[in-house]
Amino acid sequence: MERIGGWLENFDRGFAPEATRRLVGLLARASELDDQIQLVHNDFRAANILTRNSRTTGVLDFDDVVIDHRVSDLAKASVYLGTLFTDWRPTPIAVRQSLRAGYESVRPLSRSETEWFEILELWHGLMAIPGENDTAGWASAL
């Protein structure tokens, strides 16, 4: 909570004011996250996932591994899953929904994780906006 509050105070560039207001409101009402931190990949996206016949066969790029909450890794993956090295665009909503549904078919989110997923997905989305000239549509994807 402090990490996001600090980012809002010091680093939010104001490119999506409605989304920022929504994040502030969600953060103000948020309860404590009820899971333990653990080792997470922290960079799941199309460029780092190997597939064959629509099945995942491998995961690459462990340079960004951190100790964090699982739901933070899921939220960040939801934002960046569609990005490639040569095409840095927001992940379509249908893909984000499929990712979450697939995740929850194996491990459902708790009530607090569900609450924090929305907060974290919005925060990662705000951080992804490249600047005022957002031709890829990151701000509108929020």
Overall average pLDDT of the 33-37 stretch: 90
**123 pLDDT tier (thresholds 50, 70, 90):** very high
Residues in CB range of 12: below 8 A, 6 or more apart: 20, 126
- Check: CB of residue 42 under 8 Å from CB of residue 64: yes
- The domain ranges of the chain are 2-128
Overall average pLDDT of the 109-129 stretch: 96
Smallest Cα–Cα separation from 81: which of 102, 53, 110, 66? 102
Smallest Cα–Cα separation from 89: which of 97, 81, 77, 101? 81
What one-character DSSP code corresponds to residue 48?
G
Q: 2-128 in CATH: which number? A: 3.90.1200.10
Smallest Cα–Cα separation from 78: which of 118, 110, 108? 118
* Per-residue model confidence (pLDDT) at position 4: 96
Residues of the chain with pLDDT > 90, as a percent, come to 73
pLDDT digits (tens, 9 = 90+) for 51-103: 899 888 898 889 999 999 999 999 999 999 888 777 788 999 999 999 999 99
Prediction pTM value: 0.90
Q: Is the pLDDT of residue 23 over 90?
A: yes
